[in-house]
Amino acid sequence: MMEDETFTDISGKTISLDCQSHSSFCREFTVSSPKVSIGKVMVYTCSVWLLAYAAFFITQNTAVLSSAILITLVGMMFHIHFVKVDHESLLVIGSLGIQVSSSYASGREITTFIEMSKIKDIVINEAIYMHQIIYYLCVLLKDPSEPNAVSSVVPLFQSSKPRLNCLVKVYKSCQEILSKSQ
Amino acid sequence: MVLKIFFPQCCNRADSGLLVGRWISGHDSAVVLAVIHYPFIPGQVKQYVQQVGAASGVELSVLGSWSLPKEGQEGMESFLRDLSTIFPQQRWLQIRRQMGKTGFTCEVLNRDQSKTAEEKEEEEVIFVHYEQRKVMLSQLHPIESGDAKTDPPSELRQVFQTVALSQPLFFLDKYDDGPLKSTHWQSEGREASIIVELLKQASVPLCLLLSWLLSTFLSFSSCFFCRIFNFYPLRFLSTKLSTCVQLSYRTEHMKTLSSPKPAAGHSQFMRKANMLVSVLVDVALGVLLMSWLYRDDHITMLANTLVPAADHVAKELDQLLQWLMGAPAGLKMNRALDQVLGRFFLYHIHLWISYIHLMSPFIEGILWYGGLSACLGLSFALSLLSDMVALFTFHIYCFYVYGARLYCLKIYGLSSLWRLFRGKKWNVLRQRVDSCSYDLDQLFIGTLLFTILLFLLPTTALYYLVFTLLRLVVVLFQGVLHLSVDFINSFPLFAVGLRICRSYRLAGTKPSQRQYGGPDLPDSDLQLLPRDSWLALVKKLFVGELIYPWRHKTTKSRLRIQKRGRREERGRDRIGDF
């Protein structure tokens, strides 16, 4: 079952949610952020190079130009490798655990696996951030020796920051699986 | 109920046979460790499984059957089902796969009812493929708390533990001529490295040799040096000199490394490995430094620049004192006190310069022999440098102590007399300020003294400020050296290397300090700031208490602070109770 509706994140940019149900106790949710826009890249690159040209005009030193090129390249590589998240996914396997992974624009993926015995619940929390109240989905972890206390909170979909309608969908799906396995 | 089966990736293409592994109690899951192929004799299989189970301490059993039919091999289904009667199990797994197709089929036969899974309450199966070698080598299973926990460890931990402990099962490879043939990650041939095996064989006699050398060195030094160091001032000095501290620290390390017992547990092994790697890197860097130092007459160059540098520093200090004795920054100082203090410090500088000139022919020799210590490691060279800096700037330390003591006394006197001025008194018993009625003559003398101290305050404060700043510069430089020595000592290079090259070996619990650093490191090792916070440091500076540079925490320093505290208390009492 594949679904693709248009949701937005908290700043208003369009994101997309993809729910895949591999079996009755295994579901995967992928939230994709909007890609890097060409316009923004052009604006940044042009501004950096204009500054470099201005500096070159004043100092007449060609090292300024080459360093500007180097800075632009390194900055772009750094941005797509460490900063720009392409999609984040949540894989829930009943009675085994939850896998959270973020994949960056350069293809790098970081994955975290949380065992089912450590998961207390998945909830939607609200947070006050300056002038807005934002909702985020998070996993409540517990220590197996203390089943009633929440030991830590792991927020999900931190880079894409979807809005409440998207989160509610994911939450309902997850709860169906979690309630069966706990 | 969901049944989880952990299946090794290496067995995906194994020939048909029996599955050997372990049922994890309480969690409804099974770990498959190896596949034993046809033809086999059931009695021998049972014996082998029992043997390996006893050797490894894991409750191994035959889990079920695995069928990957080659071309022209049909009719295994009934044969496979009959096998379940030979190996009596509560549950019998039948995993099937076709060549060329990627799907696995799994059927679970329960002993009491021989119905297939679909007819009962929708028993679902999760198949997890794991890479056996990496799971075996990663240390995810050891539990940090030593005592037995009341609840059993989590399922994944037990899986990792099972695979890691079943090493004896993986010794049987395809070149063995025994009655059984099995498939697991090592079945293509046992993996070993000649270098590792040779090192293992050589390590025991090497450890014995090292411990013998260490014991002779320690006994020699203890009987020889103890006679000298038994006097109080020298022992005190030996704990303050960072070279001696570093020496004792390294001997501790070597003692740990040279014990011939193998490491008990993973954290102990990591600690030893980190120590060994840091010692080796230290010695390598030290030898590098030595090769640079003893080439091209660098030592003579250094020695020739050292004495003029010390002269230059003394001249600068001279000029500074002359400036202070005049009207520094436009402030008007008390002429008499100014002259006294200035001349006192000038005489000290004169003494120091003559001392330096006395030492100057020996500097080159000292540097030459001192440079030899770098063969023991770069950390020794750095600590020697720090000690030499401390010795060469001893006069700055003296000035700082004089200025600080004077200022401290003045501040305490002022605070006590100020209380008298307002009619209050410090109650030592209750540790608070109480009101007190003084006699007229007490008030008169107290106010006089207060005025004198108050008007002499700017002079003393200025001297104190200048010398404290100088001392802080020296302390900062020494601190940087100590920090780098600590860094060399305690940076877990082995762990970092493992993380880069074989990250699965480090996939343990959260990397707490106990795994790498170990509780036997002194606490001050990775301290960047003084033990108090910045606020406490500023407060100490304001009041005039002496600050000590970074040093390894010893009981001596704590005792000294306590003694000083008591002396100050007594001082306060003397001034306070008129």
**Mind listing the pLDDT tens digit for each residue in B292-349?**
888 878 888 888 888 888 888 888 888 888 888 877 777 778 888 888 888 888 888 8
- The domain segmentation of chain B, as residue ranges, is 2-113+121-141+154-187, 191-292, 299-499
Whether B124 sits inside 8 A of A145 (CB atoms) is: no
DSSP state for residue B376 in the 8-state scheme: G
What is the DSSP secondary-structure string of B307-352? Answer: HHHHHHHHHHHHHHHHHHHS-GGGPPPPHHHHHHHHHHHHHHHHHH
Please tell me if residue A171 touches chain B, with a CB cutoff of 8 Å. Answer: no
Q: Starting from the edge strand earliest in sequence, which strands make up the sheet with A97-104, in order? A: A6-8, A14-23, A26-32, A85-93, A97-104, A109-115
How many Å is the maximal CA-CA distance in chain B? 122
Interface test with A, best of B29, B118, B126 (most A CBs within 10 A): B126
Q: In this predicted structure, what is the pLDDT of residue B574?
A: 43
Angle between helices B378-392 and B335-372 (to 10 degrees): 150
Q: Which chain B residues are Cβ-neighbours of A114 within 8 angstroms?
A: none
- Which carries the bigger pLDDT value, residue B79 or residue B217? B217
DSSP state for residue B526 in the 8-state scheme: G
- Which carries the bigger pLDDT value, residue B270 or residue A90? A90
Please tell me if residue A67 touches chain B, with a CB cutoff of 8 Å. Answer: no
Q: How far apart are CA B52 and CA B168, in angstroms?
A: 6
Q: Identify whether the C-beta of residue B208 lies closer than 8 Å to the C-beta of residue B221.
A: no
Q: How far apart are CA B19 and CA A103, in angstroms?
A: 37
Given a cut of 50, whether residue B436 has pLDDT beyond it is yes
Closest by Cα among B491, B547, B554, B494 to B524 = B554
Q: Calculate the dihedral angle through the C-alpha atoms of B212, B218, B223, B225, rounding to the nearest 10 degrees.
A: 150
Q: Which chain A residues are Cβ-neighbours of B156 within 8 angstroms?
A: 97, 115
Backbone conformation region of residue B329, classed left if phi is above 0, alpha if psi is from -120 to 50, else beta: left
Q: In this predicted structure, what is the pLDDT of residue B212?
A: 87
Q: Which chain A residues are Cβ-neighbours of B155 within 8 angstroms?
A: 115, 117
pLDDT-derived band at A78 (thresholds 50, 70, 90) equals very high
Q: Which chain A residues are Cβ-neighbours of B151 within 8 angstroms?
A: 144-145
Sign of the four-CA dihedral B84, B88, B93, B95: negative
The CA distance from A169 to the nearest CA of chain B, in Å, is 25
Q: In this predicted structure, what is the pLDDT of residue B78?
A: 66
Q: In this predicted structure, what is the pLDDT of residue B55?
A: 87
Please tell me if residue B128 touches chain A, with a CB cutoff of 8 Å. Answer: yes
Mean pLDDT of chain B: 78
pLDDT-derived band at B59 (thresholds 50, 70, 90) equals confident
Neighbours of A67 (CB within 10 A): 13
For B151, which residue in chain A has the nearest alpha carbon?
A: A145
The CA distance from B325 to the nearest CA of chain A, in Å, is 48
Report the 3 state secondary structure along A51-90.
HHHHHHHHHCCHHHHHHHHHHHHHHHHHHHHHHCEEEEEE
Closest by Cα among A167, A171, A174 to A31 = A167
The CA distance from A117 to the nearest CA of chain B, in Å, is 7
pLDDT average, residue stretch B556-567: 42
Nearest by CB to B156, which of A25, A93, A115? A115
Q: How far apart are CA B35 and CA B320, in angstroms?
A: 85
Given a cut of 60, whether residue B522 has pLDDT beyond it is no
For B128, which residue in chain A has the nearest alpha carbon?
A: A96
Lookup: tokens for B331: 């402030």
Q: In this predicted structure, what is the pLDDT of residue B519?
A: 35
Q: How far apart are CA B410 and CA B228, in angstroms?
A: 40
**Three-class DSSP category at B49:** helix
Cβ within 8 Å of B, A 80-99? 93-97
Lookup: tokens for B158: 């037990």
Q: In this predicted structure, what is the pLDDT of residue B509?
A: 42
Q: How far apart are CA B35 and CA B162, in angstroms?
A: 16
The structure's pTM equals: 0.69
pLDDT average, residue stretch B176-204: 82
Q: How far apart are CA B403 and CA B468, in angstroms?
A: 8
Q: In this predicted structure, what is the pLDDT of residue A155?
A: 93
For B2, which residue in chain A has the nearest alpha carbon?
A: A95
Residue B407 vs residues B284, B287, B326: alpha-carbon distances, Å: 48, 47, 20
Whether B150 sits inside 8 A of A24 (CB atoms) is: no
Given a cut of 90, whether residue A153 has pLDDT beyond it is yes
Q: How far apart are CA A93 and CA A29, in angstroms?
A: 12
Whether A23 sits inside 8 A of B2 (CB atoms) is: no
CATH of domain B2-113+121-141+154-187: 3.40.140
Whether B126 sits inside 8 A of A95 (CB atoms) is: yes
Whether B2 sits inside 8 A of A118 (CB atoms) is: no
Bridge partners (DSSP) of residue A121 are: A140
pLDDT average, residue stretch B24-37: 84
Nearest by CB to A115, which of B149, B150, B154? B154
Please tell me if residue B126 touches chain A, with a CB cutoff of 8 Å. Answer: yes
pLDDT average, residue stretch B68-72: 74
Given a cut of 60, whether residue A139 has pLDDT beyond it is yes
Q: Which residues of B545-571 are buried (b: 16+ CB within 10 A; e: fewer)?
A: bebebbbbeeeeeeeeeeeeeeeeeee
Cβ within 8 Å of A, B 137-166? 149-151, 154-156
Tens of pLDDT along B91-145? Answer: 888 888 888 777 888 888 776 655 454 444 557 788 888 888 888 888 776 655 4
Q: In this predicted structure, what is the pLDDT of residue B506?
A: 64
Cβ within 8 Å of B, A 141-160? 144-145
Given a cut of 90, whether residue A156 has pLDDT beyond it is yes
Q: Which residues of B122-143 are buried (b: 16+ CB within 10 A; e: fewer)?
A: ebbbbeeebebbbbbebbbbbe
Q: How far apart are CA B557 and CA B483, in angstroms?
A: 19
DSSP state for residue B41 in the 8-state scheme: -
Closest by Cα among A25, B312, B523, A27 to A17 = A27
In this structure, of A151-165, B223-237, B546-560, B563-577, the range with the lowest mean pLDDT score is B563-577
Q: How far apart are CA B433 and CA B49, in angstroms?
A: 82
Nearest by CB to B2, which of A95, A115, A118? A95
Closest by Cα among B349, B365, B356 to B308 = B356
How many CB pairs (< 8 A) connect A and B?
27
Q: In this predicted structure, what is the pLDDT of residue A102?
A: 94
Amino acid (1-letter code) at residue B18: L
Given a cut of 90, whether residue A73 has pLDDT beyond it is yes
ipTM: 0.78
Q: How far apart are CA A111 and CA A88, in angstroms?
A: 10
Please tell me if residue A162 touches chain B, with a CB cutoff of 8 Å. Answer: no
For B28, which residue in chain A has the nearest alpha carbon?
A: A95
The CA distance from B152 to the nearest CA of chain A, in Å, is 10
Q: How far apart are CA A107 and CA B503, in angstroms?
A: 20
